[in-house]
Amino acid sequence: MARAITEQKFNRFHLREQLNTGGMSEIWLVTDGRGKPYALRKLKRELRFNFTARRRFLRGCEILEQLVDKDHIVGYVEHGKAEGTCYLVMDYIEAENLKVLYARQDPVLQENVAQILIDSATALSHVHEAGYMHLDFKPENILVTRNAAVRLIDFDMALPIPEKPKKLAKNPGTPGYMAPEQLRREPVDGRADIFAFGVAAYELLANQKPFSGDSPGEILAAQMNPAGPISLRQHNPDVPPALEKVVMKCLERDPDRRYPFCGVMLRDLQNALYV
């Protein structure tokens, strides 16, 4: 929840409201000396000497900086360290994440779902074109404004796309959106993001996830079910067959049967939705 505060400063910015807080950072609405608003994300004070957290935070900042001015990516302004704290300044947009909109079945989602899917896929394609895999693509990391403008956020988990699938030292991400190879701790590449996009798209269109489970093991077992997920059109007959084909291809358990590149997925998605 937003929390108004008395006048405080951080570096050259005036702190106005705390917009959100997570396990690693806080996000504030701030203004500069001219009164222009920004979103400022800063590492939590108790993590200042946690080198793993600092490295992850700064890596996310550096990747976002490489994506400056890309459509549907949150706008980068600057990052650095002030008062002993790592921080990132981004464009401020009045928006809520897709998870919140989905939970309340918000009209902005229901009326613009096709464009939201395309814009989210476009954002992910930009990340891949820059040479990175996001590794935490999920509705919670997609901001949507009241006029349905999309911004992809949170690049802390992102890593360079390897030339061939590579086993990760850590296993970043959210189990409900992880590909089977991630859950099995096998080598991965950018096709893991394509699977995550498929899960998010299926969830929005079918009003439920394709693979249910309360633990990573249960989710993996559902993914490996030979019957595969229930077809989208069984849940929602209004889904065009071409769109169902794109989403189900993203959800193939074998990465070699998924789209090889995000740009190819985006092209088919646009064709399926007549954009």
pLDDT score at 172: 74
Q: Which of 34, 68, 91 represents a domain boundary (last residue)?
A: 91
The reply to whether 222 and 105 lie within a common domain is yes
* DSSP state letter for 74: P
* pLDDT beyond 70 at 131: yes
Give the pLDDT of residue 121: 98
pLDDT-based confidence at residue 6 (cuts at 50, 70, 90) = low
User: What is the residue range of 187's domain?
Assistant: 95-272
CATH number of the domain within which 164 lies? 1.10.510.10
In this structure, the answer to whether residues 83 and 105 fall within a common structural domain is: no
**Known catalytic residues?**
136
- Lowest model confidence (mean pLDDT) among 9-23, 28-42, 56-70: 9-23
pLDDT given at position 146: 94
Q: Are residues 104 and 215 in the same domain?
A: yes
Q: Give the residues across from 78 on adjacent strands.
A: 89
Q: Are residues 178 and 244 in the same domain?
A: yes
Average of per-residue pLDDT across 207-223: 95
Tokens found for residue 120:
């989210």
Q: What is the pTM of this model?
A: 0.93
Let me know whether 70 and 103 are in one domain.
Answer: no
Q: Answer with the residue of higher pLDDT: 7 or 259.
A: 259
Strands annotated E in 72-146: 76-82, 85-91, 95-97, 132-133, 142-145
| Separation between Cα atoms, residue 179 and residue 138, nearest integer Å | 12
Task: Report residue 1's pLDDT band, with 50, 70 and 90 as the boundaries.
Answer: very low
- The per-residue pLDDT for range 245-270, each reduced to its tens digit, is 999 999 999 999 999 999 999 999 99
